[in-house]
Structure 1
Amino acid sequence: MTTIDIDHTSRWFGNVVAVNDVTMRIGPGVTGLLGPNGAGKSTLINMMGGFLAPSTGTVTIDGSPIWGNEQVYRQIGVVPEREAMYDFLTGREFVVANAELHGLDDAAARRALATVEMEYAQDRKIATYSKGMRQRVKMASALVHEPSVLLLDEPFNGMDPRQRMQLMDLLRRMGDDGRTVLFSSHILEEVEQLASHIEVVVAGRHAASGDFRKIRRLMTDRPHRYLVRSSDDRALAAALIGDPSTSGIEVDVQEGALRIQASDFGRFTELLPQVARAHGIRLLTVSPSDESLESVFSYLVAA
């Protein structure tokens, strides 16, 4: 079980501070790294991958510094966002070259290419690959030595839906096997489906950590929003609106539902079924409308 620790780490480029006093721990399983463009995600991944030195603080793997420690590359695989590749090589040649750097043979390269389902195009020049194919061959190169840590910067870019599902399944399996997988993505719905844990950076600072639903419930200064369908929406609205846990109700005729704002999450979740039972109303749908990862992320960025 491998863990990466970032401890009071900053990184600046001239007068620009890209990462500002960030502390986080990335452990086994799948972790999503979120943040708007320019938030510092790529800089963090590059420090975790040993490509950048921290300006201050430390970045370690199982207690050993990553920067300047060539031994860590036995444990780490990196899929960078940048497109620059050796276009004159075939996909197989590219993966074999990385296998040889690790003292491995062609069999390791063949296994890695099969893992990402790229055998069919392995003898074509990388120059002929689509963006999604380039992503997959980069993934094969990162997996060739079976690392315990995998760092991926926007890995889903350019992939079609089938390729995305295949990669998501692969990352889930790796997380379930106890590997440490960190990926950044702007496709929030997929992060929500895939990541068991999220880390959020905003303007170079660590904004939040943990399960996004738990983070949302800690935001007590914002009302929780629900979409509720019932056998009698108007009677339910009339029964709820007088309670202090309910700060607003809107009847959405088009949706055939109530849009409810609850200022007291705990009380409202107990009140709703009690009120429905007392008035003989059947609850058909009770759905949080702002607990998606996209909603949580928007709150954090706006904070």
Structure 2
Amino acid sequence: MSTLSIDHTSRWFGNVVAVNDVTMTIGPGVTGLLGPNGAGKSTLINMMGGFLAPSTGSVTLDGQQIWRNESVYREIGVVPEREAMYDFLTGREFVVANAELHGLGAKEAQTALATVEMEYAQDRKISTYSKGMRQRVKMASALVHSPSVLLLDEPFNGMDPRQRMQLMELLRRMGAEGRTVLFSSHILEEVEQLASHIEVIVAGRHAASGDFRRIRRLMKDRPHRYQVRSSDDRALAAALISDPSTAGIEVDLAEGGLRIQAVDFGRFTQLLPQVARANGIRLLTVSPSDESLESVFSYLVTA
């Protein structure tokens, strides 16, 4: 099991600061790296993969510096977002070439191609591949040496739904095996489904870390919104509105139920069942309406 550590790391290009004093730890399992375009995600991945040196701070794998450390590179597989590939090669030739860079051969290349289900097109030139197929053959080249760390920059770009599902299952399996998997994505729903942990980068700075629902609950200045349906919505609203844990309640005339804003998450979650029981009201559904990853990300970006 391997752990990546980024310690007070910055990277600038001339007068442009791409990553600004970021500290985070990426351990075994699947971690999602989130941020708007230009936030610094690719720069971070390039430093973790050994393609860029930090301007200040350190980027290490199990305590060893990554930059220009050949022994550490053997433990890292990288799937970059950029499409720079040798289009005149076949998929198999491309993966074999990457295997040979690690002192391996055709056997390991074939295993990697099978892992990403690209055997059927392995003898076609990369120039004939769709974007999704290119992503998968890049994935095979990153896996050819069985790395303990896998870094993927926007890996789902260009993949059809079936290819996305296959890749998500592969990443889940690798995380369950104890590998350290970090991927960036702008498809928030997929990150929510796949990542057990998230790191959020906004304008080059580290904005948040952890489970997105836990992060949401730490946002004390943002009301928590709930959709509640009960056997007597109006009576429930009347009983709740006087409590300081609620900032507002609306009756949803079109869909039925209540839209509730709670400013004290802990108190409200205890109060709701108590009030319902005391008034003989049966709760039918209680669901948070703003704890999706998209809501959390929006709050962090606009905060």
TM-score band w.r.t. shorter chain:
over 0.9
Alignment RMSD (CA, Å)? 0.8
What whole-Å deviation, never above 9, does each CA across 1:252-284 have from its counterpart, x for those lacking one? Answer: 122212110001101100111111112222211
Aligned residue number for residue 300 of structure 2: 300
Q: Compute the displacement of 1:229 (Å).
A: 1.2
Kindly provide the amino acid, as one letter, of the partner of residue 233 in structure 1. D
CA distance in 1, matches of 2:5, 2:86: 32
Aligned residue number for residue 217 of structure 1: 217
CA distance in 2, matches of 1:251, 1:14: 55
CA distance in 2, matches of 1:81, 1:255: 43
Residue 296 of structure 2 aligns to a residue in which SS?
A: helix
Residue 247 of structure 1 aligns to a residue in which SS?
A: strand
Aligned residue number for residue 148 of structure 2: 148
Aligned residue number for residue 197 of structure 2: 197
Q: Which runs of 5+ in 1 are unaligned?
A: none
Q: Compute the displacement of 1:239 (Å).
A: 1.2
CA distance in 2, matches of 1:97, 1:291: 45
Instruction: Say if 2:130 is the partner of 1:134.
Output: no
Seq. identity, %: 88
Q: Compute the displacement of 1:83 (Å).
A: 1.2
What whole-Å deviation, never above 9, does each CA across 1:64-112 have from its counterpart, x for those lacking one? Answer: 1111112212100000000121111111111111111111121111111
CA distance in 2, matches of 1:63, 1:50: 14
CA distance in 2, matches of 1:135, 1:298: 28
- Superposition pairs for residues 80-119 of structure 1, below 5 Å? 80-119=80-119
- Superposition pairs for residues 158-173 of structure 1, below 5 Å? 158-173=158-173
Q: Which moved more, 1:138-147 or 1:67-76?
A: 67-76
Q: Compute the displacement of 1:237 (Å).
A: 1.0
- Superposition pairs for residues 1-303 of structure 1, below 5 Å? 1-303=1-303
Kindly provide the amino acid, as one letter, of the partner of residue 294 in structure 1. E
Q: Compute the displacement of 1:54 (Å).
A: 0.5
Q: Compute the displacement of 1:250 (Å).
A: 1.1
Kindly provide the amino acid, as one letter, of the partner of residue 241 in structure 1. I
CA distance in 1, matches of 2:54, 2:136: 29
Q: Compute the displacement of 1:213 (Å).
A: 0.7
CA distance in 1, matches of 2:191, 2:275: 36
What whole-Å deviation, never above 9, does each CA across 1:208-228 have from its counterpart, x for those lacking one? Answer: 111111111111111110011
TM-score (norm 2): 0.99
TM-score (norm 1): 0.99
Residue 138 of structure 1 aligns to a residue in which SS?
A: helix
Q: Which runs of 5+ in 2 are unaligned?
A: none
What whole-Å deviation, never above 9, does each CA across 1:191-244 have from its counterpart, x for those lacking one? Answer: 111111111110000111111111111111111100111122111111111111
Kindly provide the amino acid, as one letter, of the partner of residue 293 in structure 2. L
Q: Compute the displacement of 1:139 (Å).
A: 0.4
CA distance in 1, matches of 2:21, 2:55: 10
Kindly provide the amino acid, as one letter, of the partner of residue 206 in structure 1. H
Poorly superposed stretches of 4+, deviation over 4 Å = none
